[in-house]
Amino acid sequence: MLSGAGRGGLPRELNCPSDSLDSSRNGTGGHGRPQASRASTGSHEHSGSGTLRTVTSETTATDRPLVPSPRRRPLRLVRVPARLRGRLYGPLLAFVITSAAFCSAWAARGTFPFGNTGRAINDQANQYVPFHRALWDLVHGQAAGDLLFTWRGGFGQQFLSDYYTYLGNPFSWLAVLVPRAHVDLAVFAVTPVTMGAAAAVMTVYLGKLHPGPWWQRAVLGACYGLCGWALSDASYIPMWLWGLVALPLLGIAVEWCLEERRWPGVALFVALAWFGNFYTAMMATMAACVLLAVRLLTRDMTGRQRLRAVWRAATAAATGILLTLPLLLPSFLSSGSAQPTGAGAFTPVRIELFLAGMLPATHLWGGRPRLYVASLGLILAGSFLFNAAIARRTRLVWAAATLLVVASFQFPPTQYAWHGLAVPNGNPYREAFVFSGMVVVLAWLALAHRPRALHVALSAALLVTATFVLRHADDFGGWTWPAVLVGGGVSLLALVLLALGEKRRYLIPVAAVLMVGVVFAESTAAAASADSRRSRERWAKPVPTSNRSIDAHFDAVRQVDGWPAYRTDSGAPQSAYNDALALRAEGPQYYSSYLPEATYRALEPLGYGYKNDGRTFFGADNPVLDAIFSIGARIHPGSAPHTWTATRFEAPPLVTVRTGPYASPNPADSVYARQENVLGATVYQVPQVTRGGSATEQTYAARCTPGSEAYWYSPALYGTLTHAGAPRPLEDRMTGVIPLGKVPADGGVAVTVRTGTKDATAGEHPVGCLDRPALDTAIASLKATGATRVTAGGHSIEATLPKGAAGTAVFAMTDVPGWQCSAPARSFHGLVALSVPAGTDKVSCTFTPKGLTPGLAAATLALLTLTSVTLTSLRRRRA
């Protein structure tokens, strides 16, 4: 059943040639049209006009030329180039239209690299570019870590799940082929390249559904690659875009299952889809199930054939997904142990907004659906039901499936199913590309059956009417009317010329140019409009990812690099929340959907700033925290623009030994007492604070030892803090412990906070005064009793202890799931700790992501199955 061998002992590839585009193998196509007999001596070949011409050659019943005798020469010179044209020119044209249109929109907007306007938007700057720079470091042997773990960011975090989620798109590897300074440009290039690849694969898939001219399939493939979801939602999210490729890829796999051939290829296609990005691949897989159901209902098949097709699809899909389990399972388990987020319930948008999302060139704000494709695709899809050349059952099933799919986006239970039973943060309509893909399929089926001019004109009229009715919807796109009237008008003209071209062949090139041109122009305008309107939103302000200041910042970090003897903190984030990754530092800065709850529970009580419900952490310029986490160098902005200053200072090693229990004498609910408990020494004076002022302008006064260093911590306040005449921003939880400066001779510490945070105060103990000599003594003690040598591997750490060491070895890394140590590990205020009996000279820990071992075992089993089926199939073919 899984071998891929055909009936009658012939190889399946001979029974069903790979370039055969008909949808049935028993004499009729899936759209009710008779097919030429495979036993005839004439074969049909599609010309560029959409008509058929006869090519004479000797063929067998399998549509393959007979092996010629030495005295006879087969006539194959015409047929082979025609196949190559259909196979290569169509995908290539779709790729060029799609990628060129998107890049033209960049050029029109003057965005990098076609201008000086920043290109990185939101998480593209904060996550994707830094993670791609981390990939560059990993491949070029300059990473502090490996594929399983990174020491850069979050004081050491898993990396495998981040790789799978943010770097899984195969085109992400373009980033390792350029100099590190230009990684951001490679990341931006991933978008048009992936969109172009999706258009190319869709072009191939459309040919599998029904034969037709390669250039027509290419134009509609470009409509898919330039759909509204790709232009708006995913244009700055390179890993999501792989789902755009996965959908037609899995569609091809469905066709192979129906033809009972290439089972190993189906499994590999599923694996390729899921290796790229499991999130959108899951949506594409659900869409493939819909495509399989539609094709089972529309093809002329026996019940037994349908069962075999379902069995092949199920087994191949399971095998393909199992191949990805070494990445999928650790990511799933990492997600379960990640810091929870406060996602809200799904609320469907109003029906007029939902329908407006289907209009071309719209860009609705916020969590709205972007469901449109170019006007040409919409007009053709609208004519699908009118086209009597298509079998009635085929029209009804495809139309019903498309309506059910789009309706499922508005129904909470099915919406949760599309997203893996989770409520997404941000736009909840992330599966919109599935509907756009189905619209393009309907458009192709209509075009391949030569729609009548009256039908496409009626469809265009319906599009104009819908646009008029929905013109008052919120945020109705400014480019929608030009797209509908101009783009729709040109599309209608092209389709009319194409119909007339059956008798007047000189009109065919004109129609082709118009169809390519209108999709290119309309999509370019839509992409530029989406980019322009999105940039007006506060969260989407584009930022630079490479300039003189970033280069200088990187150089400053490199000047004081001392890993693993000590960590270097890159300071306040300049361009990205993941500056530690981007600049090769080892501070606490980290932003990932997989940041563990254990890391949050370790860092938040110590006074580090955070956001995104604790999945993003920032640094804190505080010497006690530096001592706790072995930070021995820090970067600050220089006095001149685009300059940075590196400061080097003493720090304990990454592994220290604590000889006894310690409890801070300061108020237990203060951040300063919690820091002292981890440090193991008393270094702060935490004074009583007097609060005055009003609700919006609060004043705080305290008294400390003159000459000590005052610090402030108020995670509940958002506003502006003023001390000694110097204002600085407070961003509630994003602002960690901040330095106020030296306590003056009178011992007074006065702070004014202007805030709009309702009913919030700085708390009982916002001020702490650091005794620097006491801290220096504590650091010297930790160095004397700590490790004499520390070695950090890719996902391991080993420390040599001084003679006579005994007590508790504390590692300056958070107790995240996955650490296995030379002795049973336990948590020390959120850090990894081991008991050290007298005489112990070395301690070590190794990180293994949870789920990696069973994932590898399952993938091995799937690989053995795939290999066995492939070898069996080859053996049967030789027989």
Decide: 162 and 131 in contact? Cβ < 8 Å.
yes
220 token code pair = 């509609």
In angstroms, rounded to a whole number, what is the distance separating the alpha carbons of residues 25 and 308? Answer: 15
Q: Is 39 part of a structural domain of the chain?
A: no
> 699 and 641 in one domain?
no
Q: Is 761 part of a structural domain of the chain?
A: yes
Spatial neighbors of 59 by CB under 8 A, at least 6 apart, are 38, 40, 41, 43, 65, 66
Residue 267: how many other CB atoms lie within 10 Å: 28
As a three-state string, the secondary structure of 297-336 is HHCCCCHHHHHHHHHHHHHHHHHHHHHCHHHHHHHHHHHH
Nearest CA-CA partner of 281 in 321, 232, 226, 322 = 321
Residue 869 burial (C-beta neighbours within 10 Å; 0-12, 13-18, 19+): buried
| Number of structural domains found in the chain | 2
In angstroms, rounded to a whole number, what is the distance separating the alpha carbons of residues 524 and 530? Answer: 10
> 584 and 627 in one domain?
yes
In angstroms, rounded to a whole number, what is the distance separating the alpha carbons of residues 801 and 413? Answer: 57
Decide: 578 and 131 in contact? Cβ < 8 Å.
yes
What pLDDT, on a 0 to 100 scale, did the predictor assign at position 82?
A: 63
Q: Is 623 part of a structural domain of the chain?
A: yes
Domain final residue, candidates 755, 770, 785: 770
What pLDDT, on a 0 to 100 scale, did the predictor assign at position 2?
A: 37
Q: Report mean pLDDT in 10-residue bins for the chain, 879 residues.
A: 34 33 36 36 36 35 39 47 75 97 93 83 92 97 96 96 96 97 95 98 96 96 96 91 97 96 95 95 96 96 95 97 97 94 83 93 81 96 95 96 96 92 81 97 97 95 95 81 95 95 91 97 93 79 87 95 96 87 95 96 97 93 97 94 94 96 96 98 97 94 97 96 94 95 96 93 96 98 96 97 94 96 96 94 97 97 94 83
Q: Is 594 part of a structural domain of the chain?
A: yes
> 690 and 645 in one domain?
no
In sign, the C-alpha dihedral spanning 820, 822, 825, 828 is negative
Domain final residue, candidates 736, 770, 804: 770
> 573 and 617 in one domain?
yes
What pLDDT, on a 0 to 100 scale, did the predictor assign at position 454?
A: 94
Q: Is 655 part of a structural domain of the chain?
A: no
Check which CATH number belongs to the domain holding 725 and give it: 2.60.40
> 689 and 644 in one domain?
no
Q: Is 106 part of a structural domain of the chain?
A: no
> 645 and 688 in one domain?
no
Domain final residue, candidates 711, 739, 770: 770
> E strand or H helix at 282, and its extent?
helix 278-298
In angstroms, rounded to a whole number, what is the distance separating the alpha carbons of residues 524 and 101? Answer: 5
* Whole-model pTM over 0.85: yes
Q: Is 717 part of a structural domain of the chain?
A: yes
In angstroms, rounded to a whole number, what is the distance separating the alpha carbons of residues 305 and 283? Answer: 26
CA dist 680 → 463, 683, 737 (Å): 72, 9, 19
Nearest CA-CA partner of 531 in 109, 15, 100, 9 = 109
CA dist 513 → 454, 484, 552, 723 (Å): 22, 19, 49, 68
> 693 and 644 in one domain?
no
170 token code pair = 């195969």
In angstroms, rounded to a whole number, what is the distance separating the alpha carbons of residues 248 and 693? Answer: 64
CA dist 477 → 206, 470, 530, 841 (Å): 30, 11, 9, 69
Decide: 117 and 542 in contact? Cβ < 8 Å.
yes
216 token code pair = 């027509």
Decide: 127 and 592 in contact? Cβ < 8 Å.
yes
Alpha carbons within 13 angstroms on the beta-carbon side of residue 430 total 26
In angstroms, rounded to a whole number, what is the distance separating the alpha carbons of residues 153 and 617? Answer: 9
SS3 691: strand
Q: Is 287 part of a structural domain of the chain?
A: no
Q: Which domain holds residue 623?
A: 553-649
Q: Which residue has the tokens 């619209």?
A: 439
Decide: 679 and 778 in contact? Cβ < 8 Å.
yes
In angstroms, rounded to a whole number, what is the distance separating the alpha carbons of residues 717 and 684? Answer: 23
